[in-house]
Structure 1
């Protein structure tokens, strides 16, 4: 990623990511990793969440990779579709178990994040979903990935890819991050 060390910004979803969540493990494991802390994890406000992501991306001039889960994925998509001066700092995003905030039965508290942006995101994206995620069907996850211009992987029986579904450290997830980073590096070499 050039001469400057990459920074990883971790974006939890609704209710945050507990210490046992894979995002917390990754934050402790990855160099230069930080969490985008939201003022209210339980009553999320789309504008506030997007504004906090913008503030965090703009805070450092380092090349950045976003690692989002659930509602954090929708936050990334909403942020990326706005014209922001800090957008070029983001080299790519790993979006895990994106929450379908437009689905029937979606908790009312999440509906403020609808509609989900449908345009391609302006950086490489890897989406990872599951064939039994209660927050998004596999078909819907694949549709979002196509609309965002992302590569996608659907895991078998992985649930919402969180602590409840047994994903505490999720070491296997690093393979998806490395795949994304390889794509980013290939793109940078082609531009050079």
Structure 2
């Protein structure tokens, strides 16, 4: 095997992966759903996908992580899309269980402070901007309808995330036709293969 070759997206990760969908959940054609089917990643289900309450979503994530005792020895990876990115930021700013997480892949973080955000998301203001206590990569599109490149760069800087610009790919969702998005899987693997510097 060529050690300089890029890692295969099919090489199993050595730790659990939890999928954090955004508002309205991820549909069957979403790359998160592909990962759930292909890799066995665990989706964190929320009680209310239509009217998401930040505190409720944070409590649910905390509950799921505490229900997995093995995370004390082998912390998990979080894979968040859209509002799920804001969930990671809010949860990490308040939880006493962040040691159960080894890193996070954040994709298409929305600007929930924008005036044109739907009323269902108004309780996600203000955006939590504390530095994340674990390594993270924030993947952004240059033409995301829910966040400008400038605002994305600001969040990445505040969270201490490595910013990866994926080009003009919309909201990096099912409409972006990413399929099972092997490039994203490689980014997730980099978090554990190369944990420093962050």
Task: State whether TM-score is above 0.5.
Answer: yes
Structure 2 Cα separation of the partners of residues 183 and 73 of structure 1: 21
Structure 2 Cα separation of the partners of residues 22 and 181 of structure 1: 20
| 1:108-123 map, 5 Å | 108-123=119-134
Of 180, 186, 193, the residue aligned with 1:169 is 180
Residue 81 (structure 1) aligned with residue 89 (structure 2): no
Shift of 1:29: 2.4
Shift of 1:83: 3.6
CA contact (8 A) 1:138 1:154 kept: no
Structure 1 Cα separation of the partners of residues 66 and 185 of structure 2: 25
Structure 1 Cα separation of the partners of residues 194 and 150 of structure 2: 24
**Secondary structure of 1:164's aligned partner:** helix
Shift of 1:171: 1.9
* Counterpart in the other structure of 1:71: 83
**Secondary structure of 1:81's aligned partner:** helix
Residue 129 (structure 1) aligned with residue 137 (structure 2): no
Q: Which runs of 5 or more structure 1 residues have no equivalent in the other structure?
A: 188-192
* Counterpart in the other structure of 1:47: 55
* Counterpart in the other structure of 1:22: 31
Residue 7 (structure 1) aligned with residue 16 (structure 2): yes
Structure 1 Cα separation of the partners of residues 30 and 168 of structure 2: 18
Structure 2 Cα separation of the partners of residues 128 and 7 of structure 1: 21
Q: Which runs of 5 or more structure 2 residues have no equivalent in the other structure?
A: 1-12
Shift of 1:50: 0.6
Shift of 1:5: 4.2
Displacement over 6 Å in runs of 4+: none
Superposed CA offset, 1:66-116 (max 9, x none)? 0000000001100000042x2101000000000110013111111111111
**Secondary structure of 2:94's aligned partner:** coil
* Counterpart in the other structure of 1:149: 160
Count of aligned residue pairs for this structure pair: 181
Residue 38 (structure 1) aligned with residue 54 (structure 2): no
Name the Cα RMSD after superposition.
1.5
CA contact (8 A) 1:124 1:183 kept: no
